[in-house]
Amino acid sequence: MSKKKFQEKKSKKEKEQKSSIHKSVVKLLNENPGKAFDFKQIARKVGAKNKLANNEIFETLDSLIEDGRIRQLSNGNYASTKKSESITGKVDHVNPRFAYVVTGIEGQKDIYIKSRDLGPAIHGDTVEVELLSKRTGENPEGRVTEIIKRGRNRFVGRIELSKSFAFIVPDFKKIYTDFFVYPENILGAGTNDKVLFEVTRWPEGDKSPEAKVIEILGKTGENEAEIHSIMAEFDLPFRFPENVLHESEVISEKISDDEIKNRRDFRETLTFTIDPEDAKDFDDAISFRKLDNGRYEIGVHIADVTHYVKNGTVLDEDAYDRATSVYLVDRTVPMLPEKLSNGLCSLRPHEDKLTFAAVFEMDDRGKVHQEWFGRTIIHSDQRFSYENAQEVIETGKGRLADEIKILNDLAIKLRKERFSKGAVNFETTEVKFKLDEKGKPLAVVPKIRKDAHKLIEEFMLLANKAVATFIYKIKKSEGKNTFVYRIHDSPDPEKVRDFSLFARQFGHKIDPDENTISRSLNKLMDEIEGKPEQNVLQSLAVRAMAKAKYTTEPKGHFGLAFQHYTHFTSPIRRYPDMMVHRLLQHYLDEGKSVNKNEYEEKCVHSSEREKRAADAERASIKYKQVEFMSMAEDKLYKGIITGVTDFGIFIEIVETKCEGMVRLADMKDDYYEYDERNYRVIGKKRNKIYRLGDTTEVRIKKTDVDRRTIDLIFEE
């Protein structure tokens, strides 16, 4: 090779190397916005192996600084001037290793955040996140750059004292840091006390957040302390403010003659209530009479809460903030003070009561020929418990036996029609506890729904559907009236496909087609009744469904197969029902459509509060289940696998419906690998498989009331 050609080849190689190094340096700094590198780090990461390459890096860095594309910091390090893409969302701290930031943006996947990249952010905080170029899995990865809003400032935990300070271990499972307390902020609490505490200083760097004790709830493990802990964990109110109680106490109990004149009078019409045995508030009643034309007039009368709770009062503001009553295992956290919920608004027998009603003229096939909506006054003749009413249905004997039989027959027809139109029959098993006077669980009892429950349910569904449909159909030149609907979207096709693949493992076929899914699901529910896989398949089917919510959008309700649906029938315990009552009367009075944005905001708030209530109720049930199993005898229990994760296998004990976990770390017979796609773990050496829905036998290894967990082990 000639000297000239050699020089040309060498020059070309140097240019290529220079270009490659330039690109590598630019890529490194641009893909790590907000991060600075020293020269050695840059040289190592771009693969510089000689003096020439190092010189090229220096030249590249100088030119990039001159162009303003990077900057040199005071310590000599280099960083890109490119701003990273930032996204705002809420932290969901899944486990000690990582969290997600939930953006709530349609089509935007949640951002995966390693715990070390959270900084001082904790679960529930609203944060700004910068996206990183690398990613660990399918989701984009990021790091928290700013805390925009703290989710909350008060928590509950167990305090541990030492000589010169204390630490509080929070109860909330998704918070993985302890809180430091100075002696002057302990408030007299002792080790192992459950306390309500408030954060006084959020951490910087690796320091713990600082806190002060606000209230001592009691000793860890005591019922009162644990239930108060759950209430505080979910930010549920412990009591009503004094001004709210005062406003409720001064409401007059007298019903004026003028008020009666403005209402349709049903006091001479047979009316009764059917509620749980231990119910204190009765917010719905049924009136019944035979008409001369052979049809029936059936009224669904609902407590007229909004007659007493006026817009703009502190009573109304407090009810809106609570948005719903919360039913914990041993108490109710009511939406309204007792004078209203158990007194004025409760449709107690043998008392005149103000109500809002949907009245239907029906034939014996369950077809509605006429309907009427408006304010009524009733005088309930009889209070039935579900058990009383069920006995009347089964024996055909007792007070109002003929009327209850007719109503039950109509309810059966309404239910049959609903399912024929595509309603889905999700009958998941719920449990209740028999408690002693100190709240200690004596037994876990499954709730059984019988015809008496379904009778009331069908007429409440009829009223809710009729009110929503009536408002939707009111014709206005300026468009539809703004209203509060209860909607339930069709299930996500991908989730249905995954569920159908899983159901196939048990020999059940699900057609994931959108037009036949409800019929297919109902067929499955019939097939699995009484079988070992019933609970797990029902539970997974519910998870595959969309979540019901409140909105001003007049969409349908997939689960009930109704084109339009609302909540009209429980204003004592649900604020959306109060909104519906007010709006219904407003439109009956021919009022103009209300502000849609204002009501949509109220709907979002109500849906969030509903979720909070459901989570708190589940937590209280879980606490009692753990407490109950902590007293259980050491024996083998039959169980069914209800969940499989990369760290353990969830198992529901058949006898008690309590769920615990066998941790993979405790399975010493083999090394088990998680097969996410097929809901199972597989032993590496012996190929032993544990899959969702399998029946198995377990023993209790450990219960932790504080963390509300049950550790199980498989019988070897």
Domains assigned to the chain: 15-80 (1.10.10.10), 86-149 (2.40.50.140), 154-220 (2.40.50.700), 242-446 (no CATH), 464-608 (no CATH), 632-714 (2.40.50.140)
d(CA 172, CA 707): 8
The pLDDT, as a whole number, for residue 655 is 84
- Per-residue pLDDT, averaged over 62-86, amounts to 77
- Residue pLDDT, tens place only, 612-658: 999 999 999 999 999 999 998 888 999 988 888 888 999 989 888 88
The pLDDT, as a whole number, for residue 6 is 44
Position 364, amino acid: D
Q: Tokens at residue 379, please?
A: 């005088």
- Per-residue pLDDT, averaged over 363-369, amounts to 96
Distances (CA, A) of 194 to 97, 219, 568: 27, 6, 40
Position 486, amino acid: R
Q: Percent of the chain having pLDDT more than 70? A: 94
**114 has a pLDDT exceeding 60:** yes
Closest by alpha carbon to 217, among 241, 233, 199, 201? Answer: 233
Closest by alpha carbon to 429, among 530, 578, 510? Answer: 530
Which range has the worst mean pLDDT, 130-139, 302-311, 681-690?
Answer: 130-139
Closest by alpha carbon to 274, among 408, 375, 371? Answer: 408
**7 has a pLDDT exceeding 80:** no
**14 has a pLDDT exceeding 80:** no
In sequence order, the 6+-apart residues with CB closer than 8 A to the CB of 44 are none
d(CA 405, CA 102): 51
305 against 66, higher pLDDT: 305
Q: Percent of the chain having pLDDT more than 90? A: 57
The pLDDT, as a whole number, for residue 477 is 61
Closest by alpha carbon to 703, among 712, 693, 692? Answer: 712
- Per-residue pLDDT, averaged over 363-385, amounts to 96
**16 has a pLDDT exceeding 50:** yes
The pLDDT, as a whole number, for residue 315 is 97
Sole residue written with tokens 């030119």: 63
Position 394, amino acid: E
Containing 577, the helix (H) or strand (E) segment is: helix 575-588
| Counts of helices then strands in the chain (DSSP H, E) | 17, 34
Q: Report angle CA 272, 403, 346 to the nearest 5 degrees.
A: 10
The pLDDT, as a whole number, for residue 715 is 79
Rg (CA), the chain: 32
Distances (CA, A) of 455 to 363, 386, 408, 420: 16, 10, 6, 18
Instruction: Provide the 8-state DSSP code for 291.
Output: -
Instruction: Provide the 8-state DSSP code for 411.
Output: H
**Mean pLDDT highest for which of 104-108, 542-546, 588-592?**
588-592
d(CA 145, CA 442): 50
Q: Measured over all CA atoms, what is the biggest interatomic distance in the chain, rounded to whole angstroms?
A: 118
pLDDT band at 268; cut points 50, 70, 90: very high
Contact 427, 418 (CB under 8 A): no
d(CA 285, CA 639): 41
The pLDDT, as a whole number, for residue 95 is 86
Class of residue 504 by CB neighbours under 10 A (exposed 0-12, middle 13-18, buried 19+)? exposed
Residue 697 phi/psi, 5° resolution?
-125, 135
Containing 243, the helix (H) or strand (E) segment is: helix 242-249
**Secondary structure in 3-state letters for 471-533:** HHHCCCCCCCCCCCEEEECCCCHHHHHHHHHHHHCCCCCCCCCCCCHHHHHHHHHHHHCCCCC
In sequence order, the 6+-apart residues with CB closer than 8 A to the CB of 149 are 125, 126
- Residue pLDDT, tens place only, 158-174: 999 998 899 999 988 88
Q: Is 113 helix (H, G, I), strand (E, B) or coil?
A: strand
Q: Tokens at residue 205, please?
A: 């760097």
Residue 107 phi/psi, 5° resolution?
85, -10
Contact 231, 238 (CB under 8 A): yes
Closest by alpha carbon to 573, among 378, 356, 382, 346? Answer: 346
Q: Tokens at residue 641, please?
A: 């696998």
CA 76, distance to chain mean position in Å, is 50
In sequence order, the 6+-apart residues with CB closer than 8 A to the CB of 100 are 91, 92, 94, 110, 111, 112, 113, 139
**60 has a pLDDT exceeding 50:** yes
**Mean pLDDT highest for which of 60-74, 547-561, 667-681?**
547-561
In sequence order, the 6+-apart residues with CB closer than 8 A to the CB of 630 are 703, 705
Class of residue 368 by CB neighbours under 10 A (exposed 0-12, middle 13-18, buried 19+)? middle
Position 597, amino acid: N
- Per-residue pLDDT, averaged over 711-715, amounts to 91
Q: Tokens at residue 105, please?
A: 């943006």
Contact 122, 177 (CB under 8 A): yes
Instruction: Provide the 8-state DSSP code for 267.
Output: T
Q: Express the helix, strand and coil content of the chain in percent, nearest 5 each.
A: 35, 30, 40
Instruction: Tell me what the pLDDT averaged over the chain comes to.
Output: 88
d(CA 403, CA 410): 11
pTM value > 0.85:
no
The pLDDT, as a whole number, for residue 171 is 86
Which range has the worst mean pLDDT, 378-382, 473-477, 709-713?
Answer: 473-477
- Residue pLDDT, tens place only, 418-464: 998 888 877 667 788 899 988 889 988 888 889 999 999 999 999 99
**33 has a pLDDT exceeding 70:** no
**12 has a pLDDT exceeding 60:** no
Residue 261 phi/psi, 5° resolution?
-60, -30
d(CA 105, CA 127): 14
